[in-house]
Amino acid sequence: MSDIDTSRRTFVVGAGLATAAAGASPALAQEAANAVGAPTTPAAAAYPKPPFPPQRQPWPGLASKMTPRPDHGETSYKGSGKLTGKRALITGGDSGIGRAAAIAYAREGADVAINYLPAEEPDAREVIALIRAEGRRAVAIPGDLRDEGFCRKLVEQAARELGGLDILVNNAARQQTKPAIADISSADFDATMKTNVYAPFWLTKAAVARMTAGAVIVNTSSEQASDPSEDLVDYALTRAAVLNFTKSMAKQLVSKGIRVNAVAPGPFWTPLQVSGGATQEKLQAFGSTSPMGRPGQPAEIAALFVAAADPSLSYSTGQVFGSTGGGGQPA
């Protein structure tokens, strides 16, 4: 039996139990509603479940061309001033989780600079417009993070145009599925390492030189850090490195008053998946093996990026904020 068949069966059986329990007693109805795969909120009930239609895009992919299109919180995220006056740089801010973080930060009162590859310009324009719609300053800085010189210039430009830098979100990542280690070329490995490990190192180094007490660095890791997939060897390796980097930098920078936290997503519906990050078979069943039976939408993790940078959580550093749909998290 496939994961898709299992998910369908779980959904049908769960729905039947909920109906039967509703006729029996409120207590039983509540118990059935809390069954595996049941929606956790009214919004979550509307999010798509697998199977998803076959689709493929050249790397790095565009959210605007995905089916179904991801929800980044464009219409749903409501801010409450948690980041008022802050100035943030978010890599990979054009789509996926980075886009959701950028929208949330702007609605929490922050000015935001986003970095992305030139090929992602159509998605980036949408994000810039959303940030400006909140009355916040928006800065678009395209470029390739695999270049150390560009990483330095990126931080310099963001700090200059925002008037300073209070938050760095190291979110951009490269993920390409390969069935065996023999299929991972040195060029592939180098590209993944430079995007996912070197770039956060270079960016953090440049940002710390400009940050003052109260600043925060937020790194995106993954459940792959502790539960790696067999066909994502190089990607999973980098997610573990980022988790370790987060914890060591948190200890190193605490004396400067700079906090460092990480967010560790599980399966999320982003362009990573349709641009080589998953096989077509996995893509169509994406998220079906999670306890919720579906992938997360970027909108569902945005608040964790806010929490990781929230000044009111001033005792939280070296922390890992997980969002895996019930699948656990790296420790």
- For this structure, is 235 an active site residue? yes
C-alpha closest to that of 161 among 198, 143, 136: 136
Full strand arrangement of the beta sheet holding 259-265: 138-142, 111-116, 87-91, 167-170, 216-220, 259-265, 320-323
Residue 116 parent element (H or E) = strand 111-116
C-alpha closest to that of 214 among 170, 256, 171, 162: 256
- Of 47, 116, 235, 315, which one is the catalytic site residue? 235
- Tokens encoding 96: 């996926």
Distance CA 254, CA 320 (A): 16
Chain length of the chain = 331
C-alpha closest to that of 139 among 91, 196, 171: 91
Q: What is the DSSP letter of 69?
A: P
Which residues are known to be catalytic? Answer: 235
